[in-house]
Amino acid sequence: MAEFFLELFSEEIPARMQAAAAEQLAKLVGAQLAPLSPRDVVAFGAARRIAVTATIAAEVPASASEVRGPKLAAPPQALEGFLRKNGAAREDLVEEDGYFLLRRNLPSRPAGELIAGEFAQALAGFGWPKSMRWGQSGAFTWVRPLRRVVCLLDGAVVPFTLGPVSSGDESEGHRFLAPGAFRVNSAAQWREELRARFVIVDADERRERIRAGLRAAAEDKGLGVAEDAGLLDEVAGLVEWPVCLIGAIDPGQMALPPEVRELSMKVNQRYFATRDAAGTPAPYFAFVANIAANDGGAAIIAGNERVLRARLADAEHFWAQDRKQRLESWLPKLDAVTFHAKLGTQHARAGRIEALAREIALALGADAAAADAAARAGLLCKADLVSGMVGEFPELQGIMGGYYAEASGEGDAIAGAIRTHYQPKGPSDEVPSGVVSAAVALADKIDTLREFFRIGETPTGSGDPFALRRAALGVIRIVLETGLRLNLMPLVGAEVFDFLIERLRVKLRGEGKRFDVLNAVLDAARDDDLTRLIARTEALGAFLASEDGANLLAAYRRSTNILRIEDAKDGPHEGTIDPGLLAEPAEIALADALEAVGLEARRRLEDEDFAGAMRGFAALRAPVDAFFDHVTVNAAGAELRRNRLRLLARLRDVMHRVADFSKLEG
């Protein structure tokens, strides 16, 4: 076996592309070197390089190949084309079953020959999300100008040319701390030499070094660093030799809303927010430099503090200007903001959300004052879209609306509902709490779903350009996580409700739960109250997990199988059971149990005591087992047989009051 090493060294690669590029390079190497049985493939992605190392066979083993050519009756041009394509002569072909066949015994090939012959073409087709043309011809594309290619097989250079660059054995370390080239003879030496030249090439190691460095730098000042995994990943792709530092925020700029200050720091400067011992925002920021300075970073810190003051001064300007107007005064400007070409403006949408929020609040049992507050919040919830701050930081929409509602004297309930009406934005995001906030958030999402379904803009396959799946999941989470009792069908219509149920199935599947139990309950209940539907589903799931539940399900399936066969002969076998034909003690006991359990189940289901209804069904296990042990269903007498089949139909129907057990899998 031999060590293969490849490094593609360029100008700075965008951080967001590095991990995917490293993964793609590993797959490309695996595919191109498949005849060499590659193993232990490891990829690296950093600011100025992607690389891969693998263990491969020293040669491609000898093999035989067979390629079928054109038919014997094909025109001469077809045969000539086949020969040219395969670099063969007419005497290399044999005739078999009406076709020309090209059979070859391929000798073994050195690994270096395979790499040199085919690798450059594969690399030239590397798929960057965005790339640039450069070089004298302008034909070669790469994410940024490619400077060096290192390609080694057991330390020896494998020669090929990629664009304007020929492969060699020279790489480079840190641009400023260790400029200049160095020779590479192995993957291990490459990593060690890069570390000595102030480059940590492993992305995971850089990330952990930054995490630990930020924590240590903050702890020196009695601070903590706000968690931000996305920012940590991005910064890890921006630096080669991370040095973590702490800077101070101008005390006067701490008066800005923390969301504004911290988003400006993150988006514009890639700074991390800090927290004091109480967990509140602290007047410091943490950041990562790409250089170890002789003065301990004092000049770097001072420079970053100046930059941040200027950035936050811009935010202070928007904050001051926006608060000179009442939030309500921006509503007319929403007429100039299109929501969708077929759905009108954001002003028209605000009117729909206003009405829908009131309707939902009343459906949730809110009093008139709360319903008025929900409607008012619904009307104003999009007004901040035309504010200066949201124009600068679109991520703050809703949040700024809440601040501006407070400044306009709209009240805490309305401001809070506006602030949270986009929630939940993701799986880890909290849902709005309180009837006013929940009503407005639901109205926002339900309006999106209703309107896009109305114009036929529904998700297809993996495409969901208007995030309707996210909106549906938001509705589901708000209802279930706050235990809301809400009949959704009158609000959303049948088509959207079916879409919500499908997303609920996906959610349950993702959580490792049995979505087939939901199907069974839904078919029996046709319930549009998700809270009640899930409570019933969980109760049934718990019952089926018990021994009684599993045995009763087996009995149900046995009963329905018998009914399916006998109904095909002379069914259906439904109707009133004749007590006079109940001859055997076991069938009398089953009939009595079904009557009692059926009445009890109806009462408990009406009281929403789903667990109690399931416990009641456990009482059927013994009489059902006894019936199948001691009673012959297909009795000789026609009336006796029919009566016993009706008893089985009665068992099926009583169980269907809880769920359609035929929908259960397994």
Q: Is residue 522 part of a domain?
A: no
Give CA 413 to chain center in angstroms.
32
Rounded CA separation 199/515 (Å):
49
Same structural domain, 18 and 155 = yes
Q: Tell me what pLDDT residue 137 has.
A: 65
Q: Tell me what pLDDT residue 120 has.
A: 86
Query: Reduced to 3 states, what is the DSSP secondary structure of residue 152?
Result: strand
Same structural domain, 310 and 342 = no
Q: Tell me what pLDDT residue 40 has.
A: 93
Query: Mean pLDDT for each 10-residue chunk of the chain (666 residues)?
Result: 95 95 94 89 96 90 81 90 87 88 80 83 90 77 94 94 94 96 97 97 97 96 95 97 97 96 95 96 97 94 97 96 96 96 96 98 97 98 97 96 97 97 92 96 98 95 92 97 96 96 92 88 88 93 91 90 92 91 93 93 92 89 92 91 94 91 85
Same structural domain, 591 and 655 = yes
Rounded CA separation 147/605 (Å):
73
Q: Is residue 442 part of a domain?
A: yes
Q: Tell me what pLDDT residue 147 has.
A: 95
152, β-bridge pairs: 5, 157
Residue for token pair 């000898």: 62
> Structurally, how many domains does the chain consist of?
5
The domain boundary residue, chosen from 164, 196, 228: 196
Same structural domain, 182 and 117 = yes
Beta-strand pair 93-96/99-106: antiparallel
Q: Is residue 18 part of a domain?
A: yes
Which of 375, 372, 399, 371 is CA-nearest to residue 385?
399
Can you give the residue range of the structural domain that contains 464? 327-513
Same structural domain, 132 and 33 = yes
180 secondary structure, DSSP code? S
What element of type H or E holds 93?
strand 93-96
SS3 letters across 624-646:
HHHHHHHCCCCCCCHHHHHHHHH
401 contacts 444 by C-beta, under 8 angstroms? no
587 contacts 518 by C-beta, under 8 angstroms? no
Q: Is residue 506 part of a domain?
A: yes
Same structural domain, 502 and 607 = no
What element of type H or E holds 605?
helix 585-606
Residue for token pair 């929501």: 339
Same structural domain, 446 and 585 = no
- Say how many C-beta atoms besides its own lie within 10 A of residue 104's C-beta: 13
51, β-bridge pairs: 7, 44
CA triplet 243, 26, 242: central angle to 5 degrees?
A: 0
Peptide bond into 424 cis (omega under 30): yes
Q: Which long-range contacts (CB under 8 A, 24 or more apart) does 546-555 make?
A: 546/618, 548/617, 548/618, 548/621, 549/614, 549/617, 549/618, 551/621, 551/625, 552/617, 552/618, 552/620, 552/621, 552/624, 552/655, 553/661, 553/664, 555/620, 555/621, 555/624, 555/625, 555/628, 555/651
Same structural domain, 509 and 390 = yes
Q: Tell me what pLDDT residue 121 has.
A: 86
The domain boundary residue, chosen from 171, 196, 221: 196
Query: Reduced to 3 states, what is the DSSP secondary structure of residue 146?
Result: strand
Q: Which long-range contacts (CB under 8 A, 24 or more apart) does 343-349 make?
A: 343/451, 343/452, 343/455, 346/382, 346/385, 347/382, 349/382, 349/447, 349/451
Rounded CA separation 59/107 (Å):
10
Taking the CA of residue 312 as centre, how many other CA atoms within 13 Å lie in the half-sphere pointing to its CB? 27
The domain boundary residue, chosen from 469, 496, 513: 513
Residue for token pair 């790409």: 290
Q: Tell me what pLDDT residue 426 has.
A: 86
Same structural domain, 481 and 358 = yes
Same structural domain, 411 and 488 = yes
Beta-strand pair 165-168/146-153: parallel
Rounded CA separation 367/375 (Å):
12
Query: Reduced to 3 states, what is the DSSP secondary structure of residue 97?
Result: coil
Q: Is residue 428 part of a domain?
A: yes
Q: Tell me what pLDDT residue 477 has.
A: 97
Q: What does the buried/exposed string (b/e) look like for 521-541 if buried means 16 or more CB atoms within 10 Å of the residue's CB?
A: bbebbebbbbbbbbbbbbbbb
Tokens of 609: 């005591």
Torsion region of 82: left, alpha or beta (phi above 0 gives left; psi -120 to 50 gives alpha): alpha
Q: Is residue 143 part of a domain?
A: yes
Query: Domain containing 388 — which CATH number?
Result: 1.10.3210
